[in-house]
Amino acid sequence: MTTGFEVAGGGSLSGRVRVPGDKSISHRSMMLGALADGVTRVSGFLEGADAISTMNVFRALGVRIDGPDNGIVTVHGVGIDGLRPPAAPLDCGNAGTAMRLLMGLLAGQRFESVLIGDESLSRRPMRRVSEPLALMGARIETSATGTPPVRILPADRLKGIDYSMTVASAQVKSAILLAGLYSEGETAVTEPAPTRDHTERMLTGFGVTVERHGARASVRGGQRLRATTLDVPADISSAAFFLVGAAIAPGSDLLLEHVGMNPTRTGVIDILRLMGAHIEVLSPREVGGEPVADLRVRAGPLKGIEVPVELVPLAIDEFPVLFVAAACAQGRTVVTGAHELRVKESDRIAVMADGLAALGIPATATPDGMIIEGLGSEAMPFAGGTVESHGDHRIAMAFAMAALRARGPIRIRDTANVATSFPGFTALAAGAGVRIADVDDL
């Protein structure tokens, strides 16, 4: 028995929606709050399984954390050298961000730790982090194929490196910068394309000097973090499902409130606008070092595009639902340069191509992207049917939005992991107009 979604075809989205807090920022709020001197108060924290995994890891490392209570969390920081040896392996659940950033943070500790994860995380590549950390003097063991479990042995003081990343990955960049806090001298990392910069911004908010020159970010070891107050904006990656839903469902007019608008995250808006979507950015403001705005989105015809490759890292988590938008666009959409999608919570290229095909959409998976022949001229491009999410939260939510333009019900299997990033998705989506219900045995 697995849980699933049953989503009736048709409908439109309207009203106001505030999606849960940003996952990337929530993870980092626990990490930096724990390492700080003093008490950090967080509001808007994502009460999803991924961020809770990170919270529980720090509890296991001896940090007192109160909450979450309606998004409020209080972290009693133990200082940069105050973490305690864990009594058992640290469980990161489904969260790649937790595991990779923790590898950097734990590499500089004087105790041993082991990081484990669920079935999906246990298949994901960790050498992209363990290799640069080894250059810093870290001692990290993975499985023979570079996957979890990850054993981090105590190391002598790490030394700074000047590292050029081969993949555009904020997780790799962040792990190296966090290890840099425990390293001698300067630790620098250069990215091949801009990736999300929440770590750099939040470190600055905790009083750490982070230098940025073009694509190179650096930090000097030995700095202390000062506790602060954090207000986590709504997650643009969760808002993305509603942006696409309202863009494709005729008659929709939806307001998304308090959405994080960090320019390293807004690729989904740029891509949807290139496709012709009507998205207005209202009341832009800054909250705790991160830009925030309300987004109004209205339905309208979309057209197929070649997605500019420089936008790919800025929308990396949004491709499942962008593929749904492409299916509803007029003409061909081509995505290239997105090989990273193959090593997310599932192989998002293969899984989306299969799901789209099951719903009658001509989609061809390529090694680094997808070619989709949009059926936008049809009122209901998607046939009804059953799709497999492979336990990937973003696949499940993307196909829930597809039902807004489906001729019959779409059933989505294996949806329990939606709670990793978007607790309460079913109720929020139903309130906005998606004809969705949870079902117990699909």
Q: Which residues bind ligand S3P (CB under 6 A)?
A: 24, 97, 169-171, 174, 195-196, 316-317, 340
User: What's phi and psi for 408, nearest 5 deg?
Assistant: -150, 180
* Residue 219 or 410 having the CB closest to ligand S3P: 219
- Determine whether 222 is exposed, middle or buried from the number of CB atoms within 10 Å of its CB (0-12, 13-18, 19+): exposed
Residue with tokens 């000062």: 226
Alpha helical stretches, state H, 86-194: 96-107, 127-135, 170-180
Which residue's CB comes closest to ligand S3P?
Answer: 24
* Nearest distance from C-beta of residue 65 to ligand S3P, angstroms: 19
* Residue 179 or 328 having the CB closest to ligand S3P: 179
Whole-angstrom distance between the N-terminal and C-terminal Cα of the chain?
7
* Residue 394 or 413 having the CB closest to ligand S3P: 394
213 Cβ neighbours under 8 A, 6+ residues apart: none
Is the omega angle on the peptide bond into residue 149 within 30 degrees of 0, that is, cis? Answer: yes
* Nearest distance from C-beta of residue 255 to ligand S3P, angstroms: 25
Q: 77 is written with which tokens?
A: 């920081």
* Residue 168 or 404 having the CB closest to ligand S3P: 168
> Which 3 state secondary structure label does DSSP give 361?
coil
* Nearest distance from C-beta of residue 235 to ligand S3P, angstroms: 10
**Which is catalytic among the residues 22, 118, 197, 317?**
317
How many CB atoms within 10 Å of residue 196? 24
* Nearest distance from C-beta of residue 421 to ligand S3P, angstroms: 8
Q: What is the DSSP string of 377-441?
A: TSS--BPPEEEE-TT-HHHHHHHHHHGGGBSS-EEEE--TTHHHH-TTHHHHHHHHT--EEEES-
* Residue 200 or 317 having the CB closest to ligand S3P: 317
* Nearest distance from C-beta of residue 104 to ligand S3P, angstroms: 11
Q: Catalytic site residue 368?
A: no
Active site residues per annotation: 317
